[in-house]
Homo-oligomer: A and B are copies of this chain.
Amino acid sequence: MLPFMNITKALADESRIRILMALHQSGELCVCHLIDLLELAPSTVSKHLFLLKNARLVVARKDGRWVHYRLNDRKSAPQTVVDALAWVARSITDDSVVEADRQRLDHLLTAPLKAGCGS
Protein backbone atom coordinates (compact mmCIF):
# COMPACT_ATOMS: atom_id res chain seq x y z
CA MET A 1 0.00 0.00 0.00
CA LEU A 2 2.76 2.45 0.88
CA PRO A 3 4.49 2.35 -2.52
CA PHE A 4 1.14 2.87 -4.17
CA MET A 5 0.23 5.78 -1.90
CA ASN A 6 3.63 7.32 -2.63
CA ILE A 7 2.65 7.32 -6.29
CA THR A 8 -0.82 8.80 -5.76
CA LYS A 9 0.55 11.50 -3.47
CA ALA A 10 3.28 12.31 -5.97
CA LEU A 11 0.63 12.75 -8.66
CA ALA A 12 -1.55 15.00 -6.49
CA ASP A 13 0.25 18.24 -7.25
CA GLU A 14 0.04 20.33 -10.39
CA SER A 15 3.71 21.27 -10.48
CA ARG A 16 4.71 17.62 -10.38
CA ILE A 17 2.27 16.75 -13.16
CA ARG A 18 3.79 19.54 -15.23
CA ILE A 19 7.22 18.06 -14.59
CA LEU A 20 6.07 14.61 -15.68
CA MET A 21 4.51 16.01 -18.84
CA ALA A 22 7.63 18.03 -19.66
CA LEU A 23 9.72 14.88 -19.30
CA HIS A 24 7.20 12.96 -21.35
CA GLN A 25 7.69 15.44 -24.17
CA SER A 26 11.42 16.08 -23.94
CA GLY A 27 12.69 12.71 -22.79
CA GLU A 28 15.23 14.13 -20.39
CA LEU A 29 15.70 17.48 -18.68
CA CYS A 30 18.18 18.89 -16.20
CA VAL A 31 16.96 20.51 -13.00
CA CYS A 32 17.91 23.98 -14.19
CA HIS A 33 15.50 23.75 -17.10
CA LEU A 34 12.68 22.61 -14.85
CA ILE A 35 13.41 25.57 -12.56
CA ASP A 36 13.11 27.93 -15.51
CA LEU A 37 9.99 26.20 -16.75
CA LEU A 38 8.06 26.18 -13.48
CA GLU A 39 9.45 29.47 -12.21
CA LEU A 40 9.87 28.07 -8.73
CA ALA A 41 12.79 28.21 -6.33
CA PRO A 42 15.51 25.58 -6.94
CA SER A 43 14.88 24.07 -3.53
CA THR A 44 11.19 23.70 -4.32
CA VAL A 45 11.83 21.97 -7.63
CA SER A 46 14.40 19.74 -6.01
CA LYS A 47 11.85 18.61 -3.45
CA HIS A 48 9.28 17.88 -6.14
CA LEU A 49 11.85 15.79 -7.97
CA PHE A 50 12.69 13.94 -4.79
CA LEU A 51 9.06 12.95 -4.32
CA LEU A 52 8.74 11.84 -7.94
CA LYS A 53 11.96 9.84 -7.68
CA ASN A 54 10.87 8.37 -4.37
CA ALA A 55 7.68 7.15 -6.02
CA ARG A 56 9.86 5.71 -8.82
CA LEU A 57 8.05 7.78 -11.42
CA VAL A 58 11.33 9.33 -12.55
CA VAL A 59 15.01 8.43 -12.44
CA ALA A 60 18.04 10.72 -12.19
CA ARG A 61 21.28 10.64 -14.11
CA LYS A 62 24.15 12.69 -12.80
CA ASP A 63 26.45 14.30 -15.36
CA GLY A 64 29.07 16.55 -13.88
CA ARG A 65 27.43 19.44 -12.13
CA TRP A 66 24.10 18.69 -13.72
CA VAL A 67 21.45 16.13 -12.87
CA HIS A 68 19.17 14.99 -15.65
CA TYR A 69 15.78 13.50 -14.90
CA ARG A 70 13.65 11.30 -17.11
CA LEU A 71 10.54 9.18 -16.72
CA ASN A 72 11.21 5.72 -15.41
CA ASP A 73 10.97 3.25 -18.28
CA ARG A 74 9.25 -0.07 -18.86
CA LYS A 75 12.40 -2.02 -18.08
CA SER A 76 13.08 -0.82 -14.55
CA ALA A 77 9.76 0.58 -13.34
CA PRO A 78 7.16 -1.48 -11.47
CA GLN A 79 4.05 -2.18 -13.51
CA THR A 80 2.04 0.21 -11.35
CA VAL A 81 4.42 3.04 -12.20
CA VAL A 82 4.33 2.22 -15.92
CA ASP A 83 0.54 2.22 -15.82
CA ALA A 84 0.44 5.46 -13.83
CA LEU A 85 2.66 7.27 -16.33
CA ALA A 86 0.60 5.96 -19.23
CA TRP A 87 -2.57 7.09 -17.50
CA VAL A 88 -1.24 10.60 -16.89
CA ALA A 89 0.02 11.04 -20.45
CA ARG A 90 -3.24 9.72 -21.85
CA SER A 91 -5.33 12.00 -19.61
CA ILE A 92 -3.51 15.29 -20.20
CA THR A 93 -3.57 15.35 -23.97
CA ASP A 94 -4.85 18.85 -24.59
CA ASP A 95 -4.43 20.92 -21.46
CA SER A 96 -3.66 24.63 -21.85
CA VAL A 97 -1.12 24.76 -19.04
CA VAL A 98 0.80 21.80 -20.41
CA GLU A 99 0.57 23.17 -23.94
CA ALA A 100 2.00 26.50 -22.75
CA ASP A 101 4.79 24.60 -21.00
CA ARG A 102 5.51 22.71 -24.19
CA GLN A 103 6.03 25.90 -26.18
CA ARG A 104 7.97 27.56 -23.41
CA LEU A 105 10.19 24.52 -23.11
CA ASP A 106 10.93 24.53 -26.83
CA HIS A 107 12.18 28.09 -26.47
CA LEU A 108 14.21 27.27 -23.39
CA LEU A 109 15.90 24.32 -25.04
CA THR A 110 16.78 26.13 -28.25
CA ALA A 111 18.01 29.24 -26.46
CA PRO A 112 21.80 29.60 -26.72
CA LEU A 113 22.09 30.55 -23.06
CA LYS A 114 22.06 27.87 -20.42
CA ALA A 115 23.24 25.34 -22.96
CA GLY A 116 25.89 24.11 -20.57
CA CYS A 117 23.88 21.21 -19.27
CA GLY A 118 23.87 19.58 -22.66
CA SER A 119 20.17 20.44 -23.09
Give residues in A with beta carbon < 8 Å to B: 1, 4-5, 8-9, 11-12, 14, 17, 79-80, 83-84, 87, 90-92, 95-98
Task: Give the chain B neighbours of A97 by CB distance below 8 A.
Answer: 1
- Sample 11 A-B pairs with CB under 8 A, ordered by A number: A1-B17, A1-B96, A4-B17, A4-B91, A4-B92, A5-B12, A8-B8, A80-B87, A83-B90, A83-B91, A84-B87
Inter-subunit contact A95/B12 (CB<8 Å): no
Q: How far is the CA of A12 from the CA of B97 in the complex (A)?
A: 22
A33 to chain B, nearest CB (A): 21
Copy total for this chain: 2
Inter-subunit contact B14/A92 (CB<8 Å): no
Q: How far is the CA of A97 from the CA of B5 in the complex (A)?
A: 13
Q: How far is the CA of A8 from the CA of B16 in the complex (A)?
A: 11
Task: Give the chain B neighbours of A87 by CB distance below 8 A.
Answer: 80, 83-84, 87
Inter-subunit contact A11/B14 (CB<8 Å): no
Inter-subunit contact A8/B17 (CB<8 Å): yes
A5 to chain B, nearest CB (A): 6
Q: How far is the CA of A17 from the CA of B5 in the complex (A)?
A: 9
